[in-house]
Amino acid sequence: MSAVVSLSNVHKQFGSLKVLDGVSFEVGRGEVAAIIGQSGSGKSTVLRCINALETIQQGTIDVCGHALHDASLNRRALHLDVGIVFQSYNLFPHLTVEQNIMLAPVSVKSIPKKQARELAREVLTRVGMEAKAENYPEQLSGGQQQRVAIARSLAMSPKLMLFDEVTSALDPQLTGEVLRVMEDLARGGMTMILVTHEMAFARKVASKVIYMHQGKVWETGSGDMLDQPKTAELRNFVGGVSHDRAEASV
């Protein structure tokens, strides 16, 4: 298994605040890696670093053959290989669902409009949103918008997809429909890295779970790791989360 993403001793600071303190891990082709951890543990920052949305002060990050720590990084080439889905969807409000999806294939890859429209229908069908192609984002629910955002990213056929807390703004029912789409993607062999609070989903779908604490990779392993935490911090974290969930479902 060749590594699609490899981080080695990555350090990042915002001013005097250390956010990443020597982070190293690898994600191989077809793997689904779930990064978990408390707020402020640096998990979202790691994800943004992998897409060059943040710069790092020390260490190396290689993503799909692009050296992100290199000053000569071709950001566009990187973004052609890596798709990202944000917590806040970030769909383009002035474009319909279909236009949102067609924009990048048409303007970046010069795919003819007719073909791009077919592509849009195809990815929308994959996320179960084909009926809403003509709608504007604001006419959709949060879960529907997030599925469209996933489709928009898929349309560029990325080699790696990043998901930054994509269900955190959704209620449990809408969360379910988005997670199902992500599970389908994982089963289809997509390499994925997700920052998530959905422990059940991480346990079930992720081939690798990375627990971050205080800017470090604290513990890493398969989904089972969540059932037998080695460190007290992870035990606390897992306990805390399931406790929260139990409370929320009452």
Partner 1 sequence: MPTFSLVHLEFLLTAAQWTIGLSIAAFVGGGLVGFVVALARISDLRVLRIAATVYIQLVQGTPLLILLFAIYFGIALLGYTNLPPLIAASAGLIIYSSGFLAEIWRGCIDSVPKTQWQAAECLALTRWQRMVKVILPQAARIATAPTVGFLVQIVKNTSLASVVGFVELAQAGKLINNSIYEPFTVFMIVALIYFAICFPLSTWSRSLERKLNVGRR
Minimal distance in Å, beta carbon 90 to partner 1? 4
Structure-token match 């949060």, residue found:
142
Write 114-120 long-range contacts (CB < 8 A, 24+): 116/155, 119/155, 120/151, 120/155
Q: Are strands 66-67 and 58-63 parallel, antiparallel or unpaired?
A: antiparallel
Minimal distance in Å, beta carbon 18 to partner 1? 24
Give the span between the Cα atoms of 233 and 218, in whole angstroms: 8
Give the span between the Cα atoms of 133 and 55, in whole angstroms: 36
Residue ranges in contact with partner 1 by CB under 8 A: 51, 53, 75-76, 79-80, 82-84, 86, 88, 90-94, 103-104, 107-108, 136, 138-139, 152-153, 156
Q: Assign 6 to helix, strand or coil.
A: strand
Nearer to partner 1, 146 or 237 (CB): 146
Nearer to partner 1, 53 or 241 (CB): 53
Minimal distance in Å, beta carbon 223 to partner 1? 28
Minimal distance in Å, beta carbon 220 to partner 1? 26
Nearer to partner 1, 43 or 152 (CB): 152
Burial class (CB in 10 A: 0-12, 13-18, 19+), 143: buried
Q: Which helix (H) or strand (E) holds 44?
A: helix 43-50
Nearer to partner 1, 104 or 174 (CB): 104
Q: Which helix (H) or strand (E) holds 226?
A: none
Nearer to partner 1, 77 or 200 (CB): 77
Minimal distance in Å, beta carbon 60 to partner 1? 21
- Residue of 101, 90, 86, 89 lying closest to 194 (CA atoms): 86
Nearer to partner 1, 6 or 87 (CB): 87
Give the span between the Cα atoms of 117 and 98, in whole angstroms: 7
Minimal distance in Å, beta carbon 94 to partner 1? 5
